[in-house]
């Protein structure tokens, strides 16, 4: 089983600012947690971070026929990107959305998630733990489902 974990803009700067919202740990530490979790679960993983919407769309397209599941924190593109939503729908690879913060309790402009509309589940407000839970959930989801198209839910 192979997963692709995608992190959107500015997440590479984790730990440098706004620790009250995003925690004090670095992006390198987040990658380590993702890799450790996947290793423990017997899941092969590629971790990808980009500040560019098109690069994220390209990476999702490249996952076609190569990846079983996607974990994605689109960061600010969560609230703007129909392109990332369309890419997730186009590849129809089961995807789980993660947010470090509880976006539902934040500003009005954060109350919509376009990519989330193509994800089977969203974890938010759990910090790094949300990635661990997303990986465990996706592994169970794929094991139970055994193939087929990605269902569409919103939050
Ligand atoms: O809570 C999340 O994970 C977010 O996806 C993070 C995004 C934000 O735009 C979403 O609404 C919710 C922002 C990531 C910015 O990361 C930073 C890293 C270092 C310092 C400040 C922000």
Domain presence at residue 98: yes
Checking if the pLDDT of 140 tops 60, the result is yes
Domain presence at residue 71: yes
Average pLDDT estimate for 103-123? 98
Q: How confident is the model at residue 77 (pLDDT cuts 50, 70, 90)?
A: very high
pTM for this model (two decimals) = 0.94
| CA 144 to ligand 1 center in whole angstroms | 32
Domain presence at residue 13: yes
Domain presence at residue 152: no
Q: What is the pLDDT of residue 107?
A: 97
Give the atom of ligand 1 at the shortest distance from the alpha carbon of 99. 3
| CA 103 to ligand 1 center in whole angstroms | 10
The residue range of the domain holding 95 is 2-144
Cβ within 8 Å of residue 36, ≥6 positions away: none
Domain presence at residue 153: no
Q: How far apart are CA 33 and CA 51, in angstroms?
A: 21
Domain presence at residue 90: yes
Q: How far apart are CA 87 and CA 60, in angstroms?
A: 6
User: If 0-12 CB within 10 Å is exposed, 13-18 middle and 19+ buried, where does residue 54 land?
Assistant: exposed
Checking if the pLDDT of 147 tops 60, the result is no
Average pLDDT estimate for 105-129? 98
pLDDT by residue (tens digit) across 48-62?
Answer: 999 999 999 999 999
Checking if the pLDDT of 152 tops 90, the result is no
Checking if the pLDDT of 31 tops 50, the result is yes
**Could you list the active site residues?**
22, 99
CATH of the domain at 37: 3.40.50.9100
Checking if the pLDDT of 46 tops 70, the result is yes
Mean pLDDT, the chain, whole residue set:
94
Q: How confident is the model at residue 146 (pLDDT cuts 50, 70, 90)?
A: confident
Q: Tell me how many domains the chain contains.
A: 1
Q: How confident is the model at residue 18 (pLDDT cuts 50, 70, 90)?
A: confident
Residues in the chain: 155
């Amino acid at each position: 089983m192979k997963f692709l974990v995608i992190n959107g803009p500015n997440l590479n700067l984790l730990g440098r600012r706004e620790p009250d919202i995003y925690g004090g740990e670095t992006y390198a530490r987040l990658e380590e947690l993702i890799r450790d979790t996947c290793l423990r679960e017997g899941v092969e993983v590629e971790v990808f971070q980009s500040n560019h919407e098109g690069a994220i769309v390209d990476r999702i397209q490249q996952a076609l026929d190569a990846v079983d599941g996607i974990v994605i924190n689109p960061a600010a593109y969560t609230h703007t990107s129909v392109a990332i939503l369309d890419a997730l729908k186009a590849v129809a690879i089961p995807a789980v959305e993660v947010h470090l913060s509880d976006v539902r309790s934040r500003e009005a402009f954060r109350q919509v998630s376009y990519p989330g509309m193509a994800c089977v589940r969203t974890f938010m407000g759990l910090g790094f733990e949300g990635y661990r839970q997303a990986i465990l959930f996706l592994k169970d989801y794929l094991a139970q489902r055994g193939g087929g198209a990605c269902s569409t839910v919103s939050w």
